Structure 1
Amino acid sequence: MTSRPAAHSEAAAWTGIINNFILAVFKGTVGLLCDSKSLLGDALYSASEAAGGLAEKIQLQGTQGRRSSVGRSAQPQREGEPLVTIMFTVFLLMGALQMAISSIKEMSLGEVTAPTYLAGVTVVIAVALKEAVFQYQYRQYRKTGEDKRPAYLESRRFSLYSSIAVLLGVFGSMAGGALNIEALLYLDPAAALLIACLVLWRGYRMVTGSIYGTLVQELREEDAASFIETVQRVHGVIMVEELRAHEQGHYVAVEATICVNPRSTVLEARDIANRAKVLLMHRFSHVSDVHIEVIPYDPVYPYKSNHESSSSDTTTLLQ
């Protein structure tokens, strides 16, 4: 069953994806009707944001699927996730290149025209909707305490650059047409060229992030499996309830929750945790810190623990 914070985060993510997709269609349609290159470029950037959010959701679902699957069954998902992102990105890069070439050609030939007033109205509406969705998403991420707010703010910064560029391009070109200043007419294709460069940069980040992020995730899963296997070898550990590895530069910090016999004393449980910590740091030189929490294991109690002899039911002393 999904918790309430996770549900809020999921709703915020899908709201952003749907909003960016709608804005891409809306701005693209008006850009074609009003002959505004910068508005078309901003539509392409909104499409890149929608594709980036969708690729992130696919990667997240694939990661959760790998955690619940074992063996070869997880391999097709691992190979397919970067491929989906790359397919999204290829279309975006092709559109950005076409937009850049078209803008350069238009400026070099001097075939520049001012967009209509509908383009200006569309830009204002789009910026207002984008800002409203940003405020909603940021508040939801802050409520859930998720650690991806810095990355979201960085993405927001480039989105803001795109919004500023299209505002200057559309309204500057409209002012040039109204005041009969030819130089201002070039602001629209110039803004489109700048936005196309932003889309190219975003596409590059999507590809590298997907490939590198997948490799890092695989390495983390392999390390986590080795950590769990090592902890389970410690005498007195019944099972590893949870284990997380956090990167700290070139080193790794491990947080684990282990289950022990509920009849063990506090000193015995502490000794088991200390031996697990020492074993992890001894076997893995890149582990810099280990924090282990001990909880009793009691799903079907009474039972025979893994550190008790078959002839004794009273002592819990460790050998």
Structure 2
Amino acid sequence: MENKFIRQQEKVFWTSMLTGLTLAIVKGITGYLAMNKALIGDALYTAAATARQLTDRVFRQDGRRTRRAQAVDVSSGNGSSGIPFANMVMTVLLLLGGLEIGISAIRDIMADEMAEPKPFAIVLVFLAMAVNEGIFRYRYRYVSKLNHTTLTEMVDTHRYSLYCSIVVLAGLLGTIAALELQQDRLYYVQPISALIVSMILWRQGYVLARQSIYGRLVHTMEQQDASDYMETVQRVQGVITVEQLQAQEQEDGVHIQLIIGVNPQITVQAAAEIADYAKNLLLTRFTHVSHVHVQVVPYNGGYPYKSNYDWNRSEGRSGDGMLH
């Protein structure tokens, strides 16, 4: 089940990345040919959003190979030292691109004569909006099951991508209206739309810069979620106590680090069976949990205790091979 869930996430993620890259390239080329600065800005936003998701995935996967999942009550962190640097690079590109588009738009507004409009790009904008919305719904359907910070960032990125497209569309519609109605003033709608898109680019650059400096806020697991995990493990036969339960939301789902105390008189094999059962129970009961690591330690409370399952009696084994 764990492998199936991960394969699903990989398929959804790479489909989204490929589509985003294709849209960015097509928008950029069309914007250049149509001399539409707003559409070029939209292409830059799409490319930056795609690159951001890709770098986050790469660096987080690398970071997970070298660190253990953090505790439930951890509320901030970057996940990898490479993410802030990558974010800074994209921040510079967004700010410089937004600045260039904004200055160019102001020049067009102040110019005595407007360049000849080319509204043919409106067809592409409609198609791009439809494809972008479809891909977002496709990915949201799976990411929403994880209930972590990636979902919040994805929704925010899509929202402003939609804003960009709507602004570009408004500029193109204004151009078409100017051509049909012979109203020169409507030609200014297109450079105004480019100016608004540049502001969206600056906003996104600011968000990335803030994350690079202060770190991305990590969505803290709800206390109720942690309690549900704890209660589920405590019901496993053979588990005397849950010494530690750590849960961290990652790109592919929730990762749980679990330490359980068992009867010190049972065999290593019996302890492994308890650990496997606890792991499989968490993966089965909680679909958003993608990885569980269980460590078993002998329980030593210093006083007589009751076990919810007497493994020593059921297995009928002596003290040889017992946990110590």
TM surpasses 0.5: yes
Partner of 1:53: 53
Partner of 1:126: 128
Question: Counterparts in 2 of 1:146-225, with a 5 A limit?
Answer: 146-147=147-148, 148-213=150-215
Partner of 1:243: 246
Q: Post-superposition shift, 1:239?
A: 10
Q: Post-superposition shift, 1:26?
A: 0.6
Contact 1:114/1:174 (<8 A) preserved: no
Partner of 1:226: none
Contact 1:20/1:47 (<8 A) preserved: yes
Q: State how far apart, in whole Å, the 2-side matches of 1:126 and 1:215 are.
A: 31
Q: State how far apart, in whole Å, the 2-side matches of 1:174 and 1:195 are.
A: 19
Q: Post-superposition shift, 1:164?
A: 0.9
Equivalent residue of 1:258, what SS? strand
Q: Post-superposition shift, 1:83?
A: 1.0
- Structure 1 residue 18 and structure 2 residue 38: aligned? no
Q: Post-superposition shift, 1:40?
A: 1.3
TM-score, with length taken from structure 2 = 0.64
Partner of 1:292: none
Deviations 1:63-116 (A, max 9, x none): 3133269xxxxxxx9433311221122122211111111111111114423532
1:137 maps to a residue whose letter is R
Q: State how far apart, in whole Å, the 1-side matches of 2:154 and 2:217 are.
A: 22
Q: State how far apart, in whole Å, the 2-side matches of 1:25 and 1:263 are.
A: 62
1:259 maps to a residue whose letter is I
Q: State how far apart, in whole Å, the 2-side matches of 1:296 and 1:79 are.
A: 28
Deviations 1:40-63 (A, max 9, x none): 121122122112212322342243
TM-score, with length taken from structure 1 = 0.65
Q: State how far apart, in whole Å, the 2-side matches of 1:95 and 1:181 are.
A: 30
Partner of 1:297: 296
Q: State how far apart, in whole Å, the 2-side matches of 1:3 and 1:123 are.
A: 38
Greater share of helix residues, 1 or 2?
1
Q: State how far apart, in whole Å, the 2-side matches of 1:161 and 1:53 are.
A: 19
Equivalent residue of 1:3, what SS? helix
1:296–1:183 CA distance, 2 compared to 1 (3 A): closer
Deviations 1:97-137 (A, max 9, x none): 11111111111114423532421111111111111111111
Contact 1:103/1:190 (<8 A) preserved: yes
Contact 1:17/1:54 (<8 A) preserved: yes
Q: State how far apart, in whole Å, the 2-side matches of 1:93 and 1:296 are.
A: 48
Q: Which has the higher contact order (CA 8 A, sep 6+)?
A: 2
Q: State how far apart, in whole Å, the 1-side matches of 2:103 and 2:295 are.
A: 66
Deviations 1:270-319 (A, max 9, x none): xxxxxxxxxxxxxxxxxxxxxxxxx8939xxxxxx58599xx959x9xxx
2:26 maps to a residue whose letter is F
2:205 maps to a residue whose letter is G
Partner of 2:272: none
Gaps in structure 1 of 5+ consecutive residues: 70-76, 218-236, 247-254, 266-294, 299-304
1:264–1:103 CA distance, 2 compared to 1 (3 A): farther
- Structure 1 residue 41 and structure 2 residue 44: aligned? no
1:105–1:67 CA distance, 2 compared to 1 (3 A): same
Q: State how far apart, in whole Å, the 2-side matches of 1:256 and 1:86 are.
A: 32
Contact 1:30/1:118 (<8 A) preserved: no
Contact 1:27/1:40 (<8 A) preserved: yes
Say how many residue pairs are matched. 244
